[in-house]
Amino acid sequence: MSLPAPLASSGDTETDSLEIEFHLDRKRPVADQVYEALKAAIVSVRLLPGTSISENRMCRHFGVSRTPVRSAIVRLADEGLIDVYPQQGSFVAPIRLADVYDRHFIRKHLELAVLAEVAKRWTAAKSAEARAIVATQVAAIEVGDPALFHERDEALHAAFAVFAEREGIWPTIQMAKARMSRLHRLFGPPERLPVVVEEHLSVLDALDAGDAALAHQRLEYHLDKIFETFDPMPEAYRPYLAD
Amino acid sequence: MSLPAPLASSGDTETDSLEIEFHLDRKRPVADQVYEALKAAIVSVRLLPGTSISENRMCRHFGVSRTPVRSAIVRLADEGLIDVYPQQGSFVAPIRLADVYDRHFIRKHLELAVLAEVAKRWTAAKSAEARAIVATQVAAIEVGDPALFHERDEALHAAFAVFAEREGIWPTIQMAKARMSRLHRLFGPPERLPVVVEEHLSVLDALDAGDAALAHQRLEYHLDKIFETFDPMPEAYRPYLAD
DNA sequence: CTCTGTACCCTTGTATACTAGGGTCCTATC
DNA sequence: GATAGGACCCTAGTATACAAGGGTACAGAG
């Protein structure tokens, strides 16, 4: 039988040099810390799709027992970020294109609905707060820190959820965003980042002008445009994809 | 300190008569079976909000060890259906009204977006399939089986996701629906069920007529109407609610 | 009678041991 | 030499043992 992972059995001879920064805090639940560390590593693609997640190796790496590691893996498997094959192994899930399309659908319609609520409550203060976040995105581009850029991008979208007084739906949007986040960080051309900033600003401009319909149109264009970046999917990316 | 559960320490003297039907199948992962059984019991409110979920009692009840039970509880805690208080206990989560509002927002906009896609692909065959499901809902009302009614209601909404060729977003809608499902099954007046059927049919009629805008309007009315059923929240329901 | 301290039992969190099944590689046989 | 079979090691799934902290009830002191 063929395993989905292209790397197979290496890793024993190598040193366990997993690039997961981690410092154990005995005062907090260990399982939560392992979960957060693993999730951050997967979403930021420091752990590439297909990477083997052996429970025992994680135990050695984190210096804890299998129980909290398993707990973390179960949670990540529920989120679709890890595939567990009993008696075979656990692997960072490939990026499934069908899944990405579905998540884009969810994210797009939720963010547009949030935007409609935001438009009703738009104020100069909110505009200033949003533009301040965009400014930090610009700064992230200038220092060449794409990870920081994406972090600030999340902050901007989260702020909109707060503006709409729908803070509770942010986790759902974020989970939908996580899948595409891996695509962006893997393949997203860096030269598009300034364009993203401009599109963000164009939405804010429409809101400042009190034109909700225009803001809607511009956000929809922005979201679809980002998505189409990967329309001609280069063959080199195949190892990380599925479906 | 005050625990959220109103029942406290009883349960030892009583027999463990948890109303969770369960038959262990040793060929399937035990953890999955426990998860499914617990989730079904919670969503169908056979396990009321606030009920204590002691891991040890679950072990005795299911006849398994703590490990798979813990795995199931972790997953349900992630979904917000169980609250875990370390060193104190785990309890079926109360119905948080703020959460219900957010989930309704998510469900409404996603279902409306799905409807728009369905309208583009509407055929006589799909209409017949949908109406067949509605017919089973009518049958469920006639035999007085609200659990079956809700099961068929889920089937109808799932069918729409399939019609829209967006099967992948159904889990997200379903998770949003789960919260309100508990409200409906607890407090939903049975006399409203026939009205629900009529509203479902009115949407199908609009689709048959090829009027997507009318279908949109009627579905939005239907979803909001269901939600407003609980607008004057009787004080008797307070023990099961929070926020 | 009131208050405080302590012992016990409950809880979840963590660690470890054992089970069952799949992959691989080596060996023996044809 | 090619192929089949078996031993070994890996995996995740499950069971059990231990640790740490909170709740409660009871007993003793003031």
Mean pLDDT per block of 10 residues along chain A (243 residues) reads: 38 48 85 95 92 92 94 95 94 91 94 97 97 96 90 94 95 89 82 91 97 97 82 72 82
Model pLDDT, residue A147 = 85
User: Among A198, A148, B85, B221, which Cα is nearest to A206's?
Assistant: A198
For residue range B2-46, list pLDDT tens digits in order.
Answer: 444 333 333 333 344 566 777 888 889 999 999 999 999 999 999
Number of structural domains chain B divides into: 2
For residue range B192-208, list pLDDT tens digits in order.
Answer: 889 999 999 999 999 99
B30 touches strand D (CB under 7 A): yes
Residue B176's domain comprises 96-242
User: Among B227, B106, B110, which Cα is nearest to A167's?
Assistant: B106
A84 and A196 belong to one structural domain: no
B85 touches chain A (CB under 8 A): no
**Positive or negative, the Cα torsion across B132, B136, B142, B146?**
negative
Coil vs helix vs strand at B97: helix
Angle at A227 between CA A221 and CA A230, to 5 degrees: 140
A109 and A80 belong to one structural domain: no
A162 and A52 belong to one structural domain: no
A64 touches strand C (CB under 7 A): yes
Model pLDDT, residue A3 = 42
A69 and A110 belong to one structural domain: no
Model pLDDT, residue B205 = 97
**d(CA B60, C1' D16) / Å:** 14
Q: Do residues A172 and A106 make contact, with C-beta atoms less than 8 angstroms apart?
A: yes
Q: In the predicted model, is pLDDT for residue B243 greater than 80?
A: no
B174 and B203 belong to one structural domain: yes
For residue range B157-188, list pLDDT tens digits in order.
Answer: 999 999 999 999 999 999 998 888 888 888 77
Q: How many CB pairs under 8 A join A and B?
A: 55
Which residues on adjacent β-strands are paired with residue B92?
B82
Return d(Cα A153, Cα A203) in angstroms, integer: 14
Angle at A128 between CA A124 and CA A130, to 5 degrees: 115
The percent of residues in chain B predicted with pLDDT above 90, rounded, is 68
User: CB burial class (10 A; 0-12, 13-18, 19+) of residue B44?
Assistant: middle
CATH number, domain of B160, equals 1.20.120.530
Model pLDDT, residue B19 = 67
For residue range B69-82, list pLDDT tens digits in order.
Answer: 999 999 999 999 99
Give the end of a domain, one of A67, A93, A119. A93
Cβ–Cβ gap B75/A71 under 8 Å: no
With both helix axes pointing from N to C terminus, report the angle between A170-187 and A97-120 in degrees, rounded to the nearest 10: 130
Mean pLDDT within B82-96: 94
State the average pLDDT for chain B: 88
How many helical (H) and strand (E) elements, i.e. helices and strands, does chain B have? 9, 4
* Nearest nucleotide by C1' position to the A65 CA atom: C15
CATH number, domain of B74, equals 1.10.10.10
A39 and A122 belong to one structural domain: no
Per the structure block, which two tokens stand in for B165? 């060729």
Model pLDDT, residue B231 = 64
Return d(Cα B161, Cα B27) in angstroms, integer: 32
Q: How far is B13 from chain A (nearest CA, A)?
A: 32
A101 and A199 belong to one structural domain: yes
A171 touches strand C (CB under 7 A): no
- How many other β-carbons are positioned within 10 Å of the β-carbon of residue A189? 10
A83 and A117 belong to one structural domain: no
Positions 19-58 of A with beta carbon below 7 A from strand D are: 53-57
B163 and B55 belong to one structural domain: no
A41 and A124 belong to one structural domain: no
Model pLDDT, residue A14 = 37
The percent of residues in chain B predicted with pLDDT above 70, rounded, is 90
Per the structure block, which two tokens stand in for A30? 């260990």
Q: Do residues B53 and B92 make contact, with C-beta atoms less than 8 angstroms apart?
A: yes
**d(CA A13, C1' C19) / Å:** 27
A57 and A125 belong to one structural domain: no
- How many other β-carbons are positioned within 10 Å of the β-carbon of residue A59? 17
B177 and B65 belong to one structural domain: no
Return d(Cα B148, Cα A143) in angstroms, integer: 59
Per the structure block, which two tokens stand in for B152? 């068929």
pLDDT tier at B189, thresholds 50, 70, 90: confident
Per the structure block, which two tokens stand in for A67? 């129980």
Eight-state DSSP code of residue A22? -
Model pLDDT, residue A103 = 93
Give the Å distances, CA to CA, from B230 to A174, A234, B96. Answer: 29, 52, 13
Model pLDDT, residue A17 = 57
Model pLDDT, residue A107 = 95
B110 touches chain A (CB under 8 A): yes
B85 touches strand C (CB under 7 A): yes
pLDDT tier at B235, thresholds 50, 70, 90: confident
Model pLDDT, residue B56 = 93
Give the end of a domain, one of A63, A93, A123. A93
Give the end of a domain, one of B93, B118, B146. B93
